[in-house]
Amino acid sequence: MDHDVIVVGAGPVGARLATMLAERGVDVLMLEEHASIGRPFQCAGLVNPWSMDQVGLTNTVLQEIDGATIHGPHHASVSVGVPGETRTSAVCRNRFDEGVVHQALKAGAQLQLSTVATGLLAIDGEGWRIHHRQGSTSGTTTCRLVVGADGAHSRVRHWLRSGRPKEMMIGNQVEVTGFETEHRWLEMFTGSAIAPGFFAWAIPTGFGTHRVGLWSAPDRLDEASPEALLHALMHTSRHAHRFEGCQIVARYCGPIPGGMVRRPVRERAMLFGDAAGLAKPTTGGGIGPGFKQVAMVTDALAEAIHADRLSEPALKKLSRPWDDLRRHQTRARALRNLFLTESDDDTLERHVAVFAQPEVTAMINRLGDIEHPVPLGIEMLRKVPSFRPLALKAGWAMLTA
Ligand SMILES: Cc1cc2nc3c(=O)[nH]c(=O)nc-3n(C[C@H](O)[C@H](O)[C@H](O)COP(=O)(O)OP(=O)(O)OC[C@H]3O[C@@H](n4cnc5c(N)ncnc54)[C@H](O)[C@@H]3O)c2cc1C
C-alpha cells in the first residue's frame, strides 16, 4: 500500500486526526480538493477552551468571549457569563485551519492540495484504491484505512453507505462593520421571524467587526430563505435600529449536520467530524465535537493500524467511546427541542424571562458549558418551578433519546 491512511479532507478535524496519527508513527496522506486551506470560510469561528488547548493556536484568536446576551422574541433579554472568565474564542478560521494542517505536516503527515477524491475501490480485504483528480490529471493512491473527513456533504460517507446525519441545518452569515456589543460579549436573537426554531447571533471579532448570522432547519423556513431572514433581522426586526450604519464586508453560508450517522465505521474505513454528522445540536459548533471524536480513539486506532487490525468489528470496538458522543448529542437535541425549537414565540419569551431570574442566571453561570448543555438543562428542569411542566415531556424525550 502507498500509505497506511488516506484522510479525505484537510479541514480542522481531518488535520487534527492526521496530526495525532502521524505523531504515533502512522504514515498519513491528506487529500484536499481546494488549492489552499481554510477556504471557503463557512463558520462563526467560535472555538471553546478545551479545543483551543488541544492545538494551542491562541495566535489565531481575534476576540475572547466571556458571555452572551440572549434576546427573546418580544422584550425579554438575559445576560449570562462572568466578566473575565473566557467561555469561548472567536478565531480567524483560515489561520486556525492552516495552523492545524501545519501541525499535521510538522508531525510527518503529507498533504496533496487541489486534489479531489472521486471514488473508492476496495482491494480484497487489504485496503482501498482511492481515485482522485488534480486539474485534468486523474490518478489513484492505495491505503490500508480510508478516513472521510470531507465535511457536511461528505462523498466518502455516500460511497461507504454510512447513512445520513439526523438533521441538516443551514447557516447564513455576514461580516459587518459598525455594530456594537458589550466588550467580550456576544448576542443571540430568537423568534420565529428571525431564526425559526433556532437563533441568530452577533459575535465580536476584534478590529471593530462582527459576524452576524443565523441557523435554522430547511423544514422550518417555509418560503423564507436564510438570506431573507438575516436581511429581516438587520432591517425590519425589533433589533433593526442596532444595525443602522452597518456595512457588510463579507457573506458566508453553509450546511450544519447534526446527529451522528448510523455507521461511522466500515471495513477499513471511518468518518470524522462533519462527515460523521457531529455538529452540536445546541450551537451548530463542529470543531469541539470533532476534536473530541479524534481524541477518543487515536491511541487505540494507531495501535490497530500498526497491527493491521482494521476489520469493521475491530474498528467498531475501538470506537465504542463514540457511543457517549452519540448519546450526548441525542439528549442535547431533545433539550434544545424542548426549550427552543418546539417553543412558539410566547413560550420562548417566557423561557428567556425565567433565565433572567437571578437564581436561574446564577445556575446558568455555574453549570453552563457550551460543550455539555445536558447537565444544565436537567438541573433547570428539576429546580426551576416555571420549567416543571416541561419536566415530564423532558423525561419522555430523554428516555426515548
Ligand atoms: C454559518 C456556520 C457557522 C458555524 N459556526 C461554527 C462555530 O462557531 N464553531 C464551530 O466549532 N463550528 C461552526 N460551524 C461548523 C464548522 O464549520 C464545522 O463543523 C467544521 O468546519 C467541521 O470540520 P471538518 O474538518 O469536519 O469539515 P470541514 O471544515 O468542512 O472540512 C472538510 C474538508 O474536506 C474537503 N473536501 C470535501 N470533499 C472532498 C473531496 N472529495 N476530496 C478532497 N477534499 C474534499 C473540503 O474542501 C474541506 O476542506 C459553523 C458552520 C456554519 C455553516
Of 112, 94, 128, the C-alpha closest to 269 is 128
Predicted local confidence at residue 370, as pLDDT: 63
Predicted local confidence at residue 395, as pLDDT: 67
Cell triple for 135? 486539474
Residues 6+ apart with CB under 8 A from 298: 17, 20, 21, 24
| Residue of 34, 94, 150 with the most ligand 1 atoms within 8 Å of its CB, for mutation | 150
pLDDT classification of 271: cutoffs 50, 70, 90? very high
| 174 and 158 housed in the same domain | no
| 215 and 250 housed in the same domain | yes
| Residue of 29, 34, 42, 292 with the most ligand 1 atoms within 8 Å of its CB, for mutation | 42
CA geometry: angle 395, 397, 399, nearest 5 deg: 65
Q: Percent of the chain beyond pLDDT 90?
A: 83
| 346 and 372 housed in the same domain | yes
Backbone angles phi, psi at 130, to 5 degrees: -95, 125
Q: Which domain holds residue 386?
A: 328-399
Predicted local confidence at residue 378, as pLDDT: 83
For residue 400, pLDDT over 80 is answered with: no
Secondary structure of residue 68 in the 3-state scheme: strand
Q: Round the average pLDDT of the chain to a whole number and report it.
A: 93
Cell triple for 50? 478545551
| 100 and 161 housed in the same domain | yes
Give CA separation, 334 vs 70, 103, 281, in Å.
20, 37, 9
Predicted local confidence at residue 367, as pLDDT: 82
Give CA separation, 129 vs 3, 37, 120, 207, in Å.
11, 24, 6, 47
**Among the three residues 257, 292, 314, which one is the final residue of a domain in this structure?**
257
- Residue 53 forms part of a structural domain: no
Cell triple for 363? 445556575
DSSP state, 183? Answer: T
For range 261-267, the mean pLDDT: 97
| 20 and 99 housed in the same domain | yes
Q: Which residue has the higher pLDDT, 386 or 196?
A: 196
For the chain, what is the domain count?
Answer: 3
Cell triple for 146? 480510508
Cis previous bond, 373, omega within 30: no
Where helices occur in 211-357 by DSSP H, the ranges are 226-235, 287-306, 312-318, 322-336, 345-355
Gap between the Cα atoms of 205 and 315, Å rounded:
40
- Residue 278 forms part of a structural domain: yes
**Among the three residues 221, 239, 257, which one is the final residue of a domain in this structure?**
257
Q: Which residue has the higher pLDDT, 401 or 87?
A: 87
| 20 and 110 housed in the same domain | yes
| 224 and 138 housed in the same domain | no
**Among the three residues 322, 343, 374, which one is the final residue of a domain in this structure?**
322
Predicted local confidence at residue 207, as pLDDT: 82
CB atoms within 10 A of CB 124: 5
Predicted local confidence at residue 396, as pLDDT: 64
Give 273-293 pLDDT, tens digit per residue: 999 999 999 999 999 999 999
- Give the closest residue (by CA) to ligand 1 atom 41: 117
Residues 6+ apart with CB under 8 A from 76: 349, 350, 352, 353, 356
Gap between the Cα atoms of 270 and 40, Å rounded:
24
Q: The CATH number of the domain where 126 resides is what?
A: 3.50.50.60
- Give the closest residue (by CA) to ligand 1 atom 13: 285
For residue 195, pLDDT over 90 is answered with: yes
Instruction: Find out whether 92 and 80 touch, Cβ atoms under 8 Å.
Output: no
Residues 6+ apart with CB under 8 A from 250: 41, 174, 175
Predicted local confidence at residue 124, as pLDDT: 87
| 218 and 274 housed in the same domain | no
Predicted local confidence at residue 211, as pLDDT: 96
Q: Percent of the chain beyond pLDDT 70?
A: 97
For residue 394, pLDDT over 90 is answered with: no
Give 167-188 pLDDT, tens digit per residue: 999 999 999 999 999 999 999 9
- Give the closest residue (by CA) to ligand 1 atom 33: 9
Predicted local confidence at residue 387, as pLDDT: 85
Predicted local confidence at residue 365, as pLDDT: 87
Give 80-133 pLDDT, tens digit per residue: 999 999 999 999 999 999 999 999 999 999 999 999 999 999 998 899 999 999
| 378 and 288 housed in the same domain | no
